[in-house]
Structure 1
Amino acid sequence: MSGLSGLLEGQVALVTGAGGGIGRGIALRFAQEGAAVVLHCRTGVEAAEEAARGIRESGGGRALVVQADLTDEEACRRVVREAAEWGGGRLTALVNNAGVQPTRELPGMTVAQWRAVVDTNLSSVFACTQAAAEIMRGQGGGGSVTHIASIEASRPAPLHAHYSASKAAVVMHARSAALEYGRFGIRVNTVSPGLIDREGLAEAWPEGVRRWERAAPTGRLGRPEDVGDACVFLASRLASWVTGHDLVVDGGVSARPTW
């Protein structure tokens, strides 16, 4: 596929949760920069397949769709293994984007509801990273792992206690993994997006969108490609000395005074 600048030329990347808007945006940006991309999805197979077709038809990029429920540890390992096999035995980049964001009041939350979020948002990150690192450390040259966290990792929102806690843990997992995997040439970072636009959001949550636009110094919601750009940077040679870092992509909302 013809790249914008070829920052990821020759790379093989796995993007989890690529059936959703942010994941598709990340996968498309990786392909535009020259990477062969494996798009994982759980339920959004049609959307992932459409994105993969677009990659193949826009300059002959390489793309593969794999389906799995990443709350299953063995499924995580299978997806990583299939991605590497498709890549000729190589996997140079992993983006852990798969996640859920249900709303639930904390006082009435059950352990099962808590675990459903933590298993998807955190345990899958652990299992996929561990499996990918085993491949990266043995292939020479290492690789990069990027977790999609959230600004809610440090700024909790009502009804999101399980989500915020899982994303805070994702940030700390990346720092711990950066510490332990660095000697193998594996860099691990997080990207923490703010509110990212999606189809129907303005109609479904007009007051929230208005509040965000007023709060953001840039005056707009984020776009999937904004997150994709951050992930491309972290997977590229431009970030060869960046690891254990949380890159906030929120249009400046985190800079706004809270008092």
Structure 2
Amino acid sequence: MPDNLTAPPVDELLRLRDRTVLVTGASGGIGAGVAVRLAEAGATVIAHANAHPERLQPVLAACRKYGVAAHGVQGDLSDPDVVEAIVDEAGTLHGVVNNAALQPLSPLTSMDVTEFDRVFEVNVRAVFLVTQAVSNRAIAEGTPLSIVNIASIEGEVPAPAHSHYAASKAAVIMHTRAAALEFGPSGIRVNVVCPGLINRPGLDEDWPDGVERWHRAAPLGRLGTPADIADACLFLLSDAARWITGATLRVDGGVTANHPF
């Protein structure tokens, strides 16, 4: 068997030693869970935050407990100059998780165009800018790269008062496929993870009827956790997914497999 087709040993499939990964929106929730899990797998982690960079400190501390380097970066990723600066500061990257996003609630009848535009700036424009910048650098360096975009099942199944969010996540799904098509010949893989409802402190109190409906609808009968999404990202970044690109991975407890009526 040619060397480039030899599968790594099983105990090495999910190891990320000697790899550096940028995780955007890493200051809490899914992003924090992803950053710490990748550190556990041996990656050097570049953790990004925008509005609250101080919230990165416990995330970085948790990463460093695994004996890896972890650094924080800050900035608005819808600004191309900020993206270029962050990518330059990060240096050679082997992986990226585009997780930063906004999810406001607004019915279409009263949605402000400024809010609509901002959702697309953060959820779509930033994904494009980061993907472009890190891919151009990887191509120039000849470095293999894996990009994982975090979308949502709402990119395929919308929810009330989320039309801008759902549309932005649908755009991320298609952008992922387009990037995989263009960058594959350069050794760059691009995939998308679509989370379902992820638990967080206070969710039961804030949305009790929605949580109850989710439990009834999800075949696996529970909410998701940041760890569930982190493990999907780890898989797609790792050598276990070496022949996977342009894929959409739903991580939703099976809820989108349920009947719609």
Letter aligned with residue 235 of structure 1: L
Q: 1:61 aligns with which of 68, 75, 80?
A: 68
Correspondences of 1:111-122 after superposition (within 5 Å): 111-122=113-124
Would you say 1:80 and 2:87 are equivalent positions?
Answer: yes
Q: How does 1:13-162 map to 2 (within 5 A)?
A: 13-56=21-64, 58-84=65-91, 90-162=92-164
- Residue identity over aligned pairs, in percent, reads 48
Equivalent position amino acid for 1:70 in 2: L
CA contact (8 A) 1:175 1:244 kept: yes
2:244 maps to what in 1?
242
For these two proteins, the number of residue pairs brought into alignment is 251
Give the partner amino acid of 1:80.
V
Match for 1:17: what amino acid?
G
TM-score (normalizing by structure 2): 0.93
SS at match of 2:136: helix
Q: How does 1:188-207 map to 2 (within 5 A)?
A: 188-207=190-209
Structure 2: where are the runs of 5+ without partners? Answer: 1-10
* CA RMSD in angstroms, aligned pairs only: 1.4
Letter in 2 for 1:126: F
For residues 117 and 165 of structure 2, the distance between their equivalents in structure 1, rounded to whole angstroms, comes to 10
Report the counterpart of residue 8 of structure 2 in structure 1: none
- Is the Cα contact below 8 Å between 2:24 and 2:49 reproduced in 1? yes
Structure 1 residue runs of 4 or more that deviate by more than 3 Å after TM superposition: 3-6
Q: Is the 8 A contact 2:106 2:162 kept in 1?
A: yes
1:225 to 207, 224, 227: 227
Which residue in 2 is equivalent to 1:87?
none
Query: 1:5 deviation in Å?
Result: 7.2
Specify the SS of the correspondent of 1:196: coil
Equivalents in 2 of 1:70, 1:140: separation in Å?
24
When residues 107 and 201 of structure 1 are mapped into structure 2, their CA distance, relative to the original with a 3 A threshold, is same
**What TM-score, normalized by structure 1, do the two folds share?**
0.94
